[in-house]
Amino acid sequence: MQSSAVFSILLPMALVVIMLGLGLSLTVEDFRKVISRPKPIVVALVCQTLILPIICFGIVYASALPAAIAVGMMLLAASPGGSSANLYSHLAGGDVALNITLTTINTVLALATLPIIVNFSLMFFYGEGKVIPLQIDKVLQIFGLVLVPVAIGMLVRNRYPGLAVALDKPVKILSSVFLAGIVLVALIQEWSTLVTWGPVIGLATLVFNLVSLAIGYGVPRLMRLDRRQAIAICMEVGIHNSTLVIAIAMSPTLLNNSEMAIPPAIYGLIAYITAAVVVVLIKRGGPPARTAAA
């Protein structure tokens, strides 16, 4: 996708609005919970930052996807959980406070993991001669676009809680509008690629999503975490922040490749459906017991 004044402004704005909305839902107390409940956080981080990228690489390699699509999939695997994971966790009776804490930590960790995954993926799928690594200025741009709005949102929440509540819904609506516009442009830009590779990409993203949900619930239960925590981790690990990946992939100041935005765009649609099915299945199994945190 060619750089343009519109996207140079629109995509950074989208990231700012999305991360501001996340910040409006956070308090300093959310971070203190990291110290008091380390086990579920460690389990979730191992699943999300180590296990899932390896599994995603295996899926991508087996699917023989085009280089840009493969990089888009790997970016998706390296992305933090999406804010909608909080909603699905709430509907399923999960530990929403744990979701918010994990989203915050994963967003910070993504500043390190995303550049690493980008460099590795470009090197592997494009070849050493064609690698376009994220340089330090790009990392700093991501830092500014992600953490600064979150900090502002938290400040507003702390100083003006009434204003934070009033802004919550409009910011979510605006985020949805930005996301819809970005996805639409990505699909238009790469329509021929989507038509050719759509079924394969769809299958790859579906498999990755289902595996993410299964690992997100199964591993915590094997580690003897309670059901509410397992549900929270399931949603956090199973619903990646596809919006963030789309914006990074398409932004003229970052990767500037709309083809890389196709997997997260398709994944976003699939994840909403599969997560809803998981909520129904969990509800049929009865309400999760409220036990003491690990």
CA distance 211 to 215: 6
Residue 12, pLDDT score: 64
- Tokens at 175, concatenated: 């985020």
pLDDT at 210: 93
Return the closest-CA partner of residue 164 out of 13, 7, 16, 22. Answer: 22
Residue 151 CA: distances (Å) to CA of 16, 23, 51, 60, 79: 11, 6, 29, 35, 19
Instruction: Give the chain's length.
Output: 294
288: in domain: no
The values of phi and psi at residue 13, to 5°, are -60, -40
> Within 10 Å of residue 190's Cβ, how many Cβ atoms?
22
- Beta-carbon-side half-sphere exposure of residue 203 (alpha carbons within 13 Å): 9
Q: Is residue 91 part of a domain?
A: yes
In a domain, 177, yes or no: yes
Q: Residue 290 corresponds to which tokens in the numbers above? A: 């409220």
253: in domain: yes
Q: Tell me which residue of 83, 147, 148, 74 sits closest to 115, measured CA to CA.
A: 74
Q: At what angle do helices 191-222 and 67-78 cross, to 10 degrees?
A: 30
The answer to whether 113 touches 54, Cβ cutoff 8 Å, is: no
Please tell me the distance from the alpha carbon of residue 21 to that of residue 87, in angstroms, as a whole number.
14
Q: Does residue 80 fall inside a structural domain?
A: yes
Residues of the chain with pLDDT under 50: 1-6, 131, 133, 135, 291-294
* Model pLDDT, residue 294: 40
Q: What is the pLDDT of residue 293?
A: 41
- Number of neighbours of residue 269 by Cβ within 10 angstroms: 12
Examine residue 197 and state whether it is found in any structural domain, yes or no.
yes
How many distinct structural domains can be found in the chain?
1
Domain annotation covers residue 292: no
- Enclosing domain of residue 15: 5-283
Say if residue 93 is exposed, middle or buried (CB neighbours under 10 Å; 0-12, 13-18, 19+).
buried
3-state secondary structure 30-55: HHHHHHHCHHHHHHHHHHHHHHHHHH
Task: Give residue 57's Cα distance to chain centre.
Answer: 17
The Cα–Cα gap between 25 and 87 comes to: 12
Question: What is the pLDDT at residue 234?
Answer: 92
CATH number at residue 85: 1.20.1530.20
Q: Is residue 119 part of a domain?
A: yes
Q: What confidence score (pLDDT) does residue 263 get? A: 87
**pLDDT number for residue 5:** 45
